[in-house]
Structure formats: C-alpha cells, structure tokens
C-alpha cells in the first residue's frame, strides 16, 4: 500500500487552493475554510466558519479578491484543473465525479 502524499497547508494557501475552495464552494453556502498561522509561522487547518444564517453567504473583500495575488492564485488553480481534466475525462468519462448510480 502506498503512503498518502499530503500538500503542506502553507503551500495549499499560497497556491490558491484555499481561496478557490472558499470562493467557489464554501462562501456561496455561508461557510469558510480557515487556516491558522501559529506564532512560529506553521500553518494548519483551523476550522470552518459558519454563517449559513446569512442569506447572501460570504464574500472576500473587494480589495482582496481583485488583487494581483488573488488573480495569480485563481490562474494557478485553473491550470491545475486543466492539467487533470483531459485524463479524468479519458479515464472516467467525467471531470467531477457524479453522485448516485449511473
């Protein structure tokens, strides 16, 4: 059995995966995945903010989401998705795994 590989949480944040997971999935539901940064600089998953009572969900500030850094993170995640999409379609017939019986 092969060992499970894990991405470092700092890299997860810096490469844009946290931003895009929040922007595309969690925020519209009124949720936000959080990363905590310790005094020594180590980063770890904190928890999930819960604002489901807010009918609009959550948003990044306009300054944060329109920055060059936010755009670079989005492009990085888009590239990663594109790198896997063709192989997933060829191997499985889908990019995002469907739920339920075919």
What are the DSSP E strand ranges found in the chain? 31-37, 43-50
Write b or e for each residue in 55-83: b if 16 or more Cβ atoms lie within 10 A of its Cβ, otherwise e. Answer: eeebeeeeeeeeeeebeebbebbeeeeee
Q: Do 22 and 74 contact (CB within 8 A), yes or no? A: no
Over 70: is that where the pLDDT of 102 sits? no
- Residue 12 predicted with pLDDT over 80: yes
Q: Bigger pLDDT: 101 or 46?
A: 46
Average of per-residue pLDDT across 56-83: 96
The mean pLDDT of the chain is 95
pLDDT at residue 37 tops 80: yes
- Predicted local confidence at residue 2, as pLDDT: 82
């Amino acid at each position: 059995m092969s060992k499970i590989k894990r991405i470092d949480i700092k890299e997860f944040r810096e490469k844009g995966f946290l931003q895009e997971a929040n922007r595309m999935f969690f925020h519209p539901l009124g949720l936000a995945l959080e990363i905590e940064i310790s005094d020594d600089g180590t980063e770890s998953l904190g928890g999930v903010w819960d604002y489901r009572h807010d009918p609009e969900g959550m948003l990044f500030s306009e300054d944060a989401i329109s920055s060059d850094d936010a755009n670079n993170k989005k492009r990085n995640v888009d590239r990663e998705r594109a790198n896997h999409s063709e192989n997933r379609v060829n191997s499985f017939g889908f990019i995002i795994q469907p739920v339920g019986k075919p």
